[in-house]
A and B are shown apart, each in its own frame.
Chain A
Amino acid sequence: MLRQLIGGGLVMGTATFVGWSLASRLSGRPQQLRSLQTAVAILQSEIEWGQTPLPTALRSAAAAAGGRVADLLCVAASLMEGAPAALAVTDPESESVVEGQAHSPKEALRQAIIHHGPRTSLTTEDLAVLAALAPVLGTTGRHDQIRHLALARERLTGAEAQARANLERYERLARWGPVLVGAAIVLILS
Protein backbone atom coordinates (compact mmCIF):
# COMPACT_ATOMS: atom_id res chain seq x y z
CA MET A 1 0.00 0.00 0.00
CA LEU A 2 2.79 2.35 1.00
CA ARG A 3 4.68 1.50 -2.21
CA GLN A 4 1.55 2.26 -4.27
CA LEU A 5 1.17 5.60 -2.53
CA ILE A 6 4.82 6.55 -3.13
CA GLY A 7 4.64 5.38 -6.77
CA GLY A 8 1.43 7.30 -7.38
CA GLY A 9 2.92 10.41 -5.77
CA LEU A 10 6.01 10.16 -7.97
CA VAL A 11 3.95 9.79 -11.15
CA MET A 12 1.72 12.73 -10.22
CA GLY A 13 4.73 14.85 -9.20
CA THR A 14 6.50 14.15 -12.48
CA ALA A 15 3.37 14.79 -14.54
CA THR A 16 2.75 18.09 -12.74
CA PHE A 17 6.36 19.14 -13.28
CA VAL A 18 6.19 18.30 -17.00
CA GLY A 19 2.88 20.18 -17.33
CA TRP A 20 4.13 23.28 -15.58
CA SER A 21 7.38 23.23 -17.55
CA LEU A 22 5.52 23.02 -20.85
CA ALA A 23 3.16 25.82 -19.81
CA SER A 24 6.06 27.93 -18.59
CA ARG A 25 7.86 27.50 -21.91
CA LEU A 26 4.68 28.36 -23.77
CA SER A 27 4.05 31.50 -21.72
CA GLY A 28 7.77 32.45 -21.71
CA ARG A 29 8.00 32.54 -25.51
CA PRO A 30 5.91 35.67 -26.16
CA GLN A 31 7.65 37.45 -23.29
CA GLN A 32 11.08 36.58 -24.64
CA LEU A 33 10.05 37.51 -28.16
CA ARG A 34 8.95 40.89 -26.82
CA SER A 35 12.33 41.21 -25.00
CA LEU A 36 14.12 40.32 -28.21
CA GLN A 37 12.19 43.01 -30.09
CA THR A 38 13.19 45.53 -27.43
CA ALA A 39 16.80 44.41 -27.78
CA VAL A 40 16.72 44.77 -31.57
CA ALA A 41 15.14 48.23 -31.22
CA ILE A 42 17.92 49.32 -28.83
CA LEU A 43 20.51 47.84 -31.18
CA GLN A 44 18.95 49.77 -34.05
CA SER A 45 19.03 52.99 -32.07
CA GLU A 46 22.63 52.49 -30.89
CA ILE A 47 23.77 51.83 -34.45
CA GLU A 48 21.72 54.60 -36.05
CA TRP A 49 22.29 57.42 -33.60
CA GLY A 50 25.25 56.46 -31.47
CA GLN A 51 27.37 54.58 -34.03
CA THR A 52 28.21 52.53 -30.96
CA PRO A 53 30.63 49.63 -31.48
CA LEU A 54 28.73 46.36 -31.68
CA PRO A 55 29.84 44.74 -28.39
CA THR A 56 28.78 47.85 -26.43
CA ALA A 57 25.56 48.09 -28.43
CA LEU A 58 24.81 44.42 -27.72
CA ARG A 59 25.33 44.99 -24.00
CA SER A 60 22.95 47.97 -24.05
CA ALA A 61 20.41 45.81 -25.88
CA ALA A 62 20.93 43.03 -23.32
CA ALA A 63 20.40 45.43 -20.42
CA ALA A 64 17.08 46.53 -21.93
CA ALA A 65 15.96 42.98 -22.74
CA GLY A 66 16.82 41.25 -19.45
CA GLY A 67 16.44 37.55 -18.63
CA ARG A 68 17.63 34.71 -20.84
CA VAL A 69 17.70 36.89 -23.97
CA ALA A 70 20.14 39.22 -22.16
CA ASP A 71 22.41 36.25 -21.35
CA LEU A 72 22.52 35.27 -25.01
CA LEU A 73 23.37 38.79 -26.17
CA CYS A 74 25.99 39.29 -23.44
CA VAL A 75 27.73 36.07 -24.45
CA ALA A 76 27.79 37.27 -28.09
CA ALA A 77 29.29 40.60 -26.95
CA SER A 78 31.92 38.85 -24.81
CA LEU A 79 32.89 36.54 -27.68
CA MET A 80 33.31 39.53 -29.99
CA GLU A 81 35.62 41.16 -27.47
CA GLY A 82 37.58 37.95 -27.02
CA ALA A 83 36.70 37.85 -23.35
CA PRO A 84 38.30 34.72 -21.92
CA ALA A 85 36.02 31.75 -21.63
CA ALA A 86 32.84 33.62 -22.47
CA LEU A 87 31.14 30.33 -23.10
CA ALA A 88 33.33 27.93 -21.18
CA VAL A 89 31.88 29.26 -17.93
CA THR A 90 28.43 28.10 -18.92
CA ASP A 91 29.31 25.40 -21.42
CA PRO A 92 32.63 23.59 -21.02
CA GLU A 93 31.99 21.66 -24.24
CA SER A 94 32.13 24.73 -26.47
CA GLU A 95 35.25 23.52 -28.25
CA SER A 96 35.01 25.80 -31.28
CA VAL A 97 35.42 28.86 -29.10
CA VAL A 98 39.03 29.90 -28.73
CA GLU A 99 39.73 31.57 -25.42
CA GLY A 100 40.87 35.17 -25.60
CA GLN A 101 40.37 35.42 -29.36
CA ALA A 102 37.99 38.06 -30.64
CA HIS A 103 35.30 36.46 -32.80
CA SER A 104 33.53 38.02 -35.76
CA PRO A 105 29.95 39.15 -35.08
CA LYS A 106 28.77 36.29 -37.31
CA GLU A 107 30.65 33.64 -35.32
CA ALA A 108 29.95 35.25 -31.94
CA LEU A 109 26.19 35.39 -32.52
CA ARG A 110 26.17 31.90 -34.03
CA GLN A 111 27.96 30.45 -31.01
CA ALA A 112 25.74 32.34 -28.58
CA ILE A 113 22.63 31.01 -30.33
CA ILE A 114 23.95 27.43 -30.39
CA HIS A 115 24.92 27.42 -26.72
CA HIS A 116 22.33 29.76 -25.16
CA GLY A 117 19.37 29.36 -27.53
CA PRO A 118 18.17 26.08 -25.94
CA ARG A 119 18.08 27.78 -22.54
CA THR A 120 15.46 30.24 -23.74
CA SER A 121 11.78 29.57 -24.51
CA LEU A 122 12.39 30.60 -28.11
CA THR A 123 11.72 28.13 -30.91
CA THR A 124 14.14 27.24 -33.70
CA GLU A 125 12.17 29.58 -36.00
CA ASP A 126 12.52 32.45 -33.52
CA LEU A 127 16.26 31.89 -33.21
CA ALA A 128 16.52 31.70 -36.99
CA VAL A 129 15.50 35.37 -37.14
CA LEU A 130 18.49 36.17 -34.93
CA ALA A 131 20.72 33.79 -36.88
CA ALA A 132 19.80 35.57 -40.11
CA LEU A 133 21.24 38.77 -38.65
CA ALA A 134 24.56 37.10 -37.83
CA PRO A 135 26.25 37.31 -41.27
CA VAL A 136 25.39 40.98 -41.79
CA LEU A 137 25.69 42.43 -38.30
CA GLY A 138 28.56 44.91 -38.16
CA THR A 139 29.79 44.18 -41.67
CA THR A 140 28.04 46.92 -43.64
CA GLY A 141 27.21 50.63 -43.36
CA ARG A 142 24.67 52.14 -41.02
CA HIS A 143 21.73 52.32 -43.43
CA ASP A 144 22.11 48.71 -44.42
CA GLN A 145 22.31 47.63 -40.77
CA ILE A 146 19.14 49.55 -39.97
CA ARG A 147 17.28 47.86 -42.82
CA HIS A 148 18.29 44.39 -41.64
CA LEU A 149 17.35 45.15 -38.03
CA ALA A 150 13.98 46.59 -39.06
CA LEU A 151 13.25 43.42 -41.01
CA ALA A 152 14.23 41.29 -38.01
CA ARG A 153 11.86 43.31 -35.79
CA GLU A 154 9.01 42.77 -38.23
CA ARG A 155 9.59 39.04 -38.23
CA LEU A 156 9.80 38.97 -34.42
CA THR A 157 6.53 40.92 -34.14
CA GLY A 158 4.84 38.31 -36.32
CA ALA A 159 6.33 35.50 -34.26
CA GLU A 160 5.12 37.13 -31.04
CA ALA A 161 1.55 37.41 -32.33
CA GLN A 162 1.65 33.74 -33.24
CA ALA A 163 3.16 32.83 -29.86
CA ARG A 164 0.39 34.73 -28.01
CA ALA A 165 -2.28 32.90 -30.04
CA ASN A 166 -0.64 29.58 -29.19
CA LEU A 167 -0.50 30.56 -25.53
CA GLU A 168 -4.25 31.28 -25.41
CA ARG A 169 -5.05 28.11 -27.25
CA TYR A 170 -2.73 25.60 -25.61
CA GLU A 171 -1.71 26.91 -22.18
CA ARG A 172 -4.37 25.03 -20.18
CA LEU A 173 -3.81 21.88 -22.19
CA ALA A 174 -0.05 22.11 -21.69
CA ARG A 175 -0.40 22.78 -17.95
CA TRP A 176 -3.09 20.25 -17.05
CA GLY A 177 -2.80 17.68 -19.81
CA PRO A 178 0.20 15.88 -18.31
CA VAL A 179 -1.44 16.05 -14.84
CA LEU A 180 -4.54 14.32 -16.18
CA VAL A 181 -2.43 11.73 -17.97
CA GLY A 182 -0.53 11.14 -14.71
CA ALA A 183 -3.77 10.76 -12.79
CA ALA A 184 -5.05 8.28 -15.40
CA ILE A 185 -1.86 6.21 -15.10
CA VAL A 186 -2.19 6.14 -11.30
CA LEU A 187 -5.84 5.03 -11.55
CA ILE A 188 -5.06 2.30 -14.06
CA LEU A 189 -2.15 0.96 -12.02
CA SER A 190 -3.97 1.06 -8.65
Chain B
Amino acid sequence: MLPAALRPFLPPRLAALIEGRPLPGALTEIRLRLGRPIQLIWVGGDGFLCADGRATLDPSAALSADDALFGEVLHLVTRGSLYAWEDEVRSGYLTLPGGHRVGLTGRALTENGEIRTLQPITGLNIRIARAVPEIARPLLPHLLDGGRLRSTLIIGPPGTGKTTLLRDCCRLLSLGLPGLIPAHRVGIVDERSEIGGAVAGVPTHDLGPRTDLLDGAPKALGLINLVRSMSPQVVAVDELGKHADAEAVQEALHAGVAVLATAHGWDVADLRRRPALSTLMQDGAFERLITLVADKRPGRIGEILVASGDGGWRSIDTTTAPRRLQPAAGDD
Protein backbone atom coordinates (compact mmCIF):
# COMPACT_ATOMS: atom_id res chain seq x y z
CA MET B 1 0.00 0.00 0.00
CA LEU B 2 1.09 3.54 -0.65
CA PRO B 3 1.59 5.78 2.36
CA ALA B 4 -1.25 8.31 2.68
CA ALA B 5 1.21 11.23 2.55
CA LEU B 6 2.49 10.06 -0.83
CA ARG B 7 -0.86 9.53 -2.54
CA PRO B 8 -1.51 13.22 -3.40
CA PHE B 9 1.77 13.24 -5.35
CA LEU B 10 0.76 10.48 -7.72
CA PRO B 11 -1.89 10.73 -10.44
CA PRO B 12 -4.99 8.88 -9.17
CA ARG B 13 -4.85 6.33 -12.04
CA LEU B 14 -1.22 5.44 -11.26
CA ALA B 15 -1.90 5.18 -7.52
CA ALA B 16 -4.91 2.96 -8.25
CA LEU B 17 -2.80 0.68 -10.46
CA ILE B 18 -0.04 0.34 -7.89
CA GLU B 19 -2.49 -0.37 -5.11
CA GLY B 20 -4.66 -2.57 -7.32
CA ARG B 21 -2.79 -5.81 -6.73
CA PRO B 22 -0.65 -6.88 -3.77
CA LEU B 23 3.11 -7.04 -4.30
CA PRO B 24 5.30 -9.83 -2.89
CA GLY B 25 6.92 -7.35 -0.48
CA ALA B 26 6.49 -3.83 0.86
CA LEU B 27 6.90 -1.24 -1.90
CA THR B 28 10.10 0.80 -1.49
CA GLU B 29 10.56 2.61 -4.81
CA ILE B 30 8.61 3.72 -7.86
CA ARG B 31 10.87 4.51 -10.80
CA LEU B 32 9.60 6.47 -13.78
CA ARG B 33 11.79 6.96 -16.82
CA LEU B 34 10.28 9.06 -19.61
CA GLY B 35 9.03 6.82 -22.41
CA ARG B 36 10.13 3.64 -20.65
CA PRO B 37 8.43 1.05 -18.44
CA ILE B 38 7.44 1.99 -14.90
CA GLN B 39 9.51 0.00 -12.44
CA LEU B 40 8.41 -0.96 -8.95
CA ILE B 41 10.90 -2.06 -6.33
CA TRP B 42 9.74 -3.86 -3.25
CA VAL B 43 11.51 -5.52 -0.36
CA GLY B 44 13.13 -8.60 -1.88
CA GLY B 45 12.55 -7.91 -5.58
CA ASP B 46 11.41 -5.69 -8.40
CA GLY B 47 9.25 -5.71 -11.51
CA PHE B 48 7.55 -3.53 -14.11
CA LEU B 49 4.01 -2.25 -13.72
CA CYS B 50 1.46 -3.59 -16.21
CA ALA B 51 -1.64 -1.73 -17.37
CA ASP B 52 -3.77 -4.10 -15.27
CA GLY B 53 -1.78 -3.45 -12.09
CA ARG B 54 0.27 -6.67 -12.22
CA ALA B 55 4.03 -6.60 -11.81
CA THR B 56 5.97 -8.34 -14.55
CA LEU B 57 9.60 -9.06 -15.30
CA ASP B 58 8.97 -8.44 -19.01
CA PRO B 59 9.58 -4.75 -19.74
CA SER B 60 7.88 -4.98 -23.13
CA ALA B 61 4.59 -5.96 -21.46
CA ALA B 62 4.73 -3.08 -19.02
CA LEU B 63 3.07 0.31 -18.89
CA SER B 64 5.28 3.15 -20.13
CA ALA B 65 5.72 6.49 -18.44
CA ASP B 66 4.52 8.53 -21.43
CA ASP B 67 4.77 12.32 -21.70
CA ALA B 68 1.37 12.93 -20.10
CA LEU B 69 1.86 10.60 -17.12
CA PHE B 70 5.44 11.66 -16.51
CA GLY B 71 4.49 15.35 -16.78
CA GLU B 72 1.64 14.82 -14.35
CA VAL B 73 3.87 13.16 -11.76
CA LEU B 74 6.52 15.86 -12.19
CA HIS B 75 3.85 18.53 -11.78
CA LEU B 76 2.55 16.90 -8.62
CA VAL B 77 5.91 16.34 -6.93
CA THR B 78 7.05 19.90 -7.73
CA ARG B 79 3.59 21.31 -6.89
CA GLY B 80 3.60 22.84 -10.37
CA SER B 81 6.42 25.13 -9.26
CA LEU B 82 9.73 23.81 -10.52
CA TYR B 83 11.35 27.19 -9.85
CA ALA B 84 10.68 26.74 -6.12
CA TRP B 85 12.87 23.62 -6.07
CA GLU B 86 15.92 24.89 -7.91
CA ASP B 87 18.38 23.96 -5.15
CA GLU B 88 16.80 20.53 -4.85
CA VAL B 89 16.87 19.97 -8.62
CA ARG B 90 20.53 20.96 -8.63
CA SER B 91 21.17 18.42 -5.87
CA GLY B 92 19.25 15.77 -7.79
CA TYR B 93 16.44 15.09 -5.35
CA LEU B 94 13.56 16.69 -3.54
CA THR B 95 11.77 15.59 -0.43
CA LEU B 96 8.03 15.23 -0.08
CA PRO B 97 5.98 15.49 3.13
CA GLY B 98 6.46 12.28 5.06
CA GLY B 99 10.18 12.17 4.20
CA HIS B 100 9.62 10.43 0.86
CA ARG B 101 12.45 11.36 -1.46
CA VAL B 102 12.20 11.89 -5.21
CA GLY B 103 15.46 11.38 -7.08
CA LEU B 104 15.76 13.32 -10.33
CA THR B 105 17.74 12.68 -13.49
CA GLY B 106 17.73 14.30 -16.91
CA ARG B 107 19.94 16.54 -18.96
CA ALA B 108 22.28 18.45 -16.69
CA LEU B 109 23.00 22.06 -17.67
CA THR B 110 26.33 23.11 -16.22
CA GLU B 111 27.88 26.45 -15.41
CA ASN B 112 31.46 26.90 -14.19
CA GLY B 113 31.79 23.15 -13.86
CA GLU B 114 28.75 22.82 -11.59
CA ILE B 115 25.25 21.58 -12.31
CA ARG B 116 22.97 24.62 -12.73
CA THR B 117 19.79 22.69 -13.33
CA LEU B 118 18.27 19.62 -14.99
CA GLN B 119 16.36 20.50 -18.13
CA PRO B 120 14.47 18.46 -19.10
CA ILE B 121 13.91 16.11 -16.21
CA THR B 122 13.44 12.64 -17.62
CA GLY B 123 13.76 10.29 -14.66
CA LEU B 124 12.05 10.13 -11.27
CA ASN B 125 12.74 7.72 -8.45
CA ILE B 126 10.17 7.97 -5.68
CA ARG B 127 11.68 6.39 -2.57
CA ILE B 128 9.15 5.55 0.07
CA ALA B 129 10.17 6.42 3.62
CA ARG B 130 8.66 4.30 6.35
CA ALA B 131 8.99 4.99 10.05
CA VAL B 132 9.50 1.75 11.96
CA PRO B 133 8.95 2.60 15.61
CA GLU B 134 10.84 0.55 18.22
CA ILE B 135 13.35 -0.69 15.63
CA ALA B 136 16.22 0.85 17.66
CA ARG B 137 15.09 -0.37 21.10
CA PRO B 138 17.33 -3.49 21.21
CA LEU B 139 20.29 -1.45 19.97
CA LEU B 140 20.21 1.56 22.28
CA PRO B 141 21.54 -0.02 25.49
CA HIS B 142 24.70 -1.02 23.60
CA LEU B 143 25.37 2.60 22.76
CA LEU B 144 25.77 3.54 26.42
CA ASP B 145 28.86 3.06 28.53
CA GLY B 146 29.10 4.17 32.14
CA GLY B 147 25.66 5.73 31.80
CA ARG B 148 26.87 8.00 28.98
CA LEU B 149 25.77 7.83 25.38
CA ARG B 150 28.71 7.16 23.05
CA SER B 151 29.03 8.76 19.64
CA THR B 152 27.88 6.26 17.06
CA LEU B 153 28.18 5.85 13.32
CA ILE B 154 25.65 3.70 11.50
CA ILE B 155 26.96 2.35 8.20
CA GLY B 156 25.36 0.30 5.49
CA PRO B 157 24.78 0.21 1.75
CA PRO B 158 21.85 2.20 0.31
CA GLY B 159 18.42 0.89 1.22
CA THR B 160 19.40 -0.93 4.42
CA GLY B 161 17.50 1.41 6.74
CA LYS B 162 20.20 3.70 8.12
CA THR B 163 17.90 6.72 8.28
CA THR B 164 15.05 4.63 9.70
CA LEU B 165 17.30 3.36 12.49
CA LEU B 166 18.74 6.81 13.17
CA ARG B 167 15.23 8.31 13.37
CA ASP B 168 14.11 5.75 15.91
CA CYS B 169 17.33 6.16 17.93
CA CYS B 170 16.53 9.88 18.17
CA ARG B 171 12.94 9.21 19.17
CA LEU B 172 13.85 6.73 21.90
CA LEU B 173 16.73 8.82 23.25
CA SER B 174 14.45 11.82 23.37
CA LEU B 175 11.77 9.77 25.10
CA GLY B 176 14.12 7.82 27.38
CA LEU B 177 13.68 4.20 28.41
CA PRO B 178 12.75 4.16 32.10
CA GLY B 179 15.46 2.46 34.16
CA LEU B 180 17.57 1.81 31.10
CA ILE B 181 18.33 5.05 29.31
CA PRO B 182 17.69 8.58 30.58
CA ALA B 183 15.88 10.99 28.28
CA HIS B 184 18.16 13.25 26.26
CA ARG B 185 17.85 16.60 24.57
CA VAL B 186 18.28 15.62 20.94
CA GLY B 187 19.11 17.93 18.04
CA ILE B 188 18.73 16.79 14.44
CA VAL B 189 20.24 18.46 11.40
CA ASP B 190 18.09 17.19 8.58
CA GLU B 191 19.63 18.51 5.39
CA ARG B 192 17.45 16.43 3.09
CA SER B 193 14.31 16.39 5.28
CA GLU B 194 14.48 12.61 5.35
CA ILE B 195 14.83 12.05 9.08
CA GLY B 196 11.89 14.19 10.15
CA GLY B 197 10.00 14.35 6.84
CA ALA B 198 9.26 17.94 7.82
CA VAL B 199 6.73 20.13 6.10
CA ALA B 200 7.44 23.83 6.64
CA GLY B 201 9.87 22.87 9.40
CA VAL B 202 7.39 20.74 11.33
CA PRO B 203 8.34 17.03 11.42
CA THR B 204 5.79 14.55 10.14
CA HIS B 205 7.59 11.62 11.82
CA ASP B 206 7.63 11.12 15.58
CA LEU B 207 11.07 12.29 16.69
CA GLY B 208 10.39 12.31 20.43
CA PRO B 209 9.31 15.00 22.87
CA ARG B 210 12.77 16.49 23.52
CA THR B 211 13.96 16.73 19.94
CA ASP B 212 14.78 19.94 18.07
CA LEU B 213 14.84 19.71 14.30
CA LEU B 214 16.88 21.99 12.05
CA ASP B 215 15.35 21.20 8.71
CA GLY B 216 17.00 21.79 5.34
CA ALA B 217 20.26 23.19 6.73
CA PRO B 218 23.59 22.00 5.34
CA LYS B 219 25.02 19.47 7.80
CA ALA B 220 28.26 21.29 8.60
CA LEU B 221 26.60 24.64 9.22
CA GLY B 222 23.57 23.15 10.93
CA LEU B 223 25.55 21.08 13.41
CA ILE B 224 27.48 24.07 14.67
CA ASN B 225 24.37 26.28 14.84
CA LEU B 226 22.35 23.65 16.63
CA VAL B 227 25.02 23.03 19.28
CA ARG B 228 25.25 26.78 19.91
CA SER B 229 21.56 27.54 19.87
CA MET B 230 19.81 24.55 21.47
CA SER B 231 22.49 23.00 23.72
CA PRO B 232 21.58 19.43 22.81
CA GLN B 233 23.07 16.41 24.56
CA VAL B 234 22.95 14.43 21.34
CA VAL B 235 23.05 15.60 17.73
CA ALA B 236 22.05 13.43 14.79
CA VAL B 237 22.94 13.79 11.11
CA ASP B 238 22.37 11.64 8.08
CA GLU B 239 24.90 10.67 5.42
CA LEU B 240 28.24 12.12 6.48
CA GLY B 241 30.71 12.35 3.64
CA LYS B 242 32.34 15.74 3.15
CA HIS B 243 35.35 17.20 4.96
CA ALA B 244 33.18 20.06 6.22
CA ASP B 245 30.79 17.51 7.79
CA ALA B 246 33.70 15.78 9.53
CA GLU B 247 34.98 19.09 10.90
CA ALA B 248 31.52 19.97 12.22
CA VAL B 249 31.26 16.56 13.91
CA GLN B 250 34.63 17.23 15.61
CA GLU B 251 33.33 20.63 16.76
CA ALA B 252 30.25 19.04 18.27
CA LEU B 253 32.32 16.39 20.03
CA HIS B 254 34.63 19.05 21.46
CA ALA B 255 31.54 20.77 22.83
CA GLY B 256 30.75 17.58 24.76
CA VAL B 257 27.83 16.56 22.58
CA ALA B 258 27.38 12.94 21.51
CA VAL B 259 26.97 12.48 17.76
CA LEU B 260 24.75 9.94 16.03
CA ALA B 261 25.41 9.76 12.31
CA THR B 262 25.05 7.56 9.28
CA ALA B 263 27.31 6.98 6.29
CA HIS B 264 27.26 4.85 3.17
CA GLY B 265 29.63 1.91 3.36
CA TRP B 266 29.85 -1.81 3.92
CA ASP B 267 32.38 -2.03 6.75
CA VAL B 268 35.19 -0.28 8.63
CA ALA B 269 37.62 -0.81 5.75
CA ASP B 270 35.18 0.99 3.46
CA LEU B 271 35.07 3.99 5.80
CA ARG B 272 38.86 4.17 5.97
CA ARG B 273 38.97 4.53 2.21
CA ARG B 274 36.86 7.69 2.34
CA PRO B 275 39.05 10.72 3.13
CA ALA B 276 36.65 12.68 5.34
CA LEU B 277 35.45 9.65 7.27
CA SER B 278 38.91 8.14 7.68
CA THR B 279 40.00 11.32 9.48
CA LEU B 280 37.13 10.92 11.90
CA MET B 281 37.98 7.26 12.41
CA GLN B 282 41.65 8.05 13.04
CA ASP B 283 40.72 10.73 15.55
CA GLY B 284 38.51 8.30 17.42
CA ALA B 285 35.43 10.46 16.92
CA PHE B 286 33.08 7.48 17.12
CA GLU B 287 33.08 4.91 19.89
CA ARG B 288 30.39 2.70 18.43
CA LEU B 289 29.98 1.48 14.88
CA ILE B 290 26.81 -0.22 13.72
CA THR B 291 26.90 -2.07 10.43
CA LEU B 292 23.63 -2.80 8.68
CA VAL B 293 23.01 -5.58 6.23
CA ALA B 294 20.46 -5.86 3.43
CA ASP B 295 17.39 -7.69 4.60
CA LYS B 296 13.64 -7.79 4.06
CA ARG B 297 13.16 -5.53 7.06
CA PRO B 298 15.01 -2.23 7.36
CA GLY B 299 17.65 -1.64 10.03
CA ARG B 300 18.86 -5.24 10.27
CA ILE B 301 22.03 -5.02 12.36
CA GLY B 302 25.04 -6.94 11.12
CA GLU B 303 27.48 -6.06 13.84
CA ILE B 304 27.91 -3.70 16.75
CA LEU B 305 31.54 -2.64 17.06
CA VAL B 306 33.07 -0.94 20.05
CA ALA B 307 36.27 1.16 19.79
CA SER B 308 38.99 -0.77 21.59
CA GLY B 309 41.13 2.31 22.29
CA ASP B 310 44.12 1.30 20.17
CA GLY B 311 42.44 2.32 16.92
CA GLY B 312 40.86 -1.10 16.54
CA TRP B 313 37.31 -2.36 16.94
CA ARG B 314 35.88 -5.32 18.77
CA SER B 315 32.53 -6.85 18.05
CA ILE B 316 30.11 -7.18 20.95
CA ASP B 317 27.64 -9.92 21.62
CA THR B 318 24.22 -8.40 20.98
CA THR B 319 22.42 -11.29 22.65
CA THR B 320 23.59 -10.12 26.09
CA ALA B 321 20.77 -8.47 27.98
CA PRO B 322 21.52 -4.82 28.70
CA ARG B 323 22.06 -3.81 32.32
CA ARG B 324 19.36 -1.73 33.92
CA LEU B 325 20.41 1.68 35.15
CA GLN B 326 19.84 2.74 38.71
CA PRO B 327 17.35 5.59 38.70
CA ALA B 328 19.39 8.75 39.12
CA ALA B 329 18.25 12.11 40.35
CA GLY B 330 18.46 14.80 37.71
CA ASP B 331 17.88 12.50 34.79
CA ASP B 332 15.83 14.49 32.32
B86 within 8 A of A: yes
Contacts of A4 in B (CB 8 A): none
A138 pairs with B81, CB closer than 8 A = yes
A78 beta carbon closer than 8 Å to chain B: no
Identify which of A47, A82, A104, A108 contacts B83 (C-beta below 8 A).
A47
Are A53's CB and B82's CB within 8 A? no
Determine the chain B residues whose CB is within 8 A of the CB of A144 once the complex forms: 83
Chain B CB within 8 A of A11 CB: no
The answer to whether B80 and A142 touch across the interface, beta carbons within 8 angstroms, is no
Q: How many Å lie between the Cα of A139 and that of B78 in the bound state?
A: 9
Count of interface residues, chain A, beta-carbon cutoff 8 Å:
22
A80 within 8 A of B: yes
**Which chain B residue shows the least CB distance to A144?**
B83
Are the CB atoms of B86 and A51 closer together than 8 Å? Answer: yes
- Name which of A80, A108, A141 has the most chain B CB atoms within 10 A of its CB: A141
The answer to whether A53 touches B72 (Cβ under 8 A) is: no
Task: State how many residues of chain B have any CB contact under 8 Å with chain A.
Answer: 18
Please report the number of residue pairs spanning A and B whose Cβ atoms sit closer than 8 angstroms. 55
**Assembly CA distance A102 to B81 (angstroms):** 13
In the complex, the answer to whether B86 meets A55 with C-beta atoms within 8 Å is: no
Given contacts A80-B80, A104-B72, A105-B80, contact A141 B86 (CB under 8 A): yes
Contact among A51, A141, A145 for B117, CB-based, below 8 A: A141
In angstroms, Cα B11 to Cα A108, docked, is: 16
Residue B119, interface by CB 8 Å: yes
In the bound complex, do residue B84 and residue A53 qualify as a contact, i.e. CB atoms below 8 Å apart? Answer: yes
Taken together as a complex, chains A and B put the C-alpha atoms of A139 and B89 apart, in Å, by: 12
User: What string of 1s and 0s marks CB contacts (under 8 Å) between B1-41 and chain A?
Assistant: 00000001001100000000000000000000000000000
Of residues A47, A102, A142, which shows the largest number of chain B Cβ atoms within 10 Å of its Cβ?
A102
CB of A54 closer than 8 Å to a CB of B: yes
Which residues in window 122-148 of A have CB below 8 A to B? Answer: 137-142, 144-145
Residue on B nearest A107 in the bound complex, by CB: B75
CA of A53 to CA of B76, assembled, Å: 12
- Residues of B near A47 (CB, < 8 A) are 83-84
Report how far A52 CA is from B83 CA in the complex, Å. 9
> Is A14's beta carbon under 8 Å from chain B?
no
14 of the cross-chain contacts (CB-CB < 8 Å) are A47-B84, A51-B84, A52-B81, A57-B81, A101-B12, A102-B75, A105-B80, A137-B80, A138-B80, A138-B82, A140-B82, A141-B86, A141-B89, A141-B119
- Please give me the 7 A-B residue pairs with the lowest Cβ-Cβ distance, nearest first: A142-B83, A54-B81, A138-B80, A51-B84, A53-B81, A53-B79, A105-B80
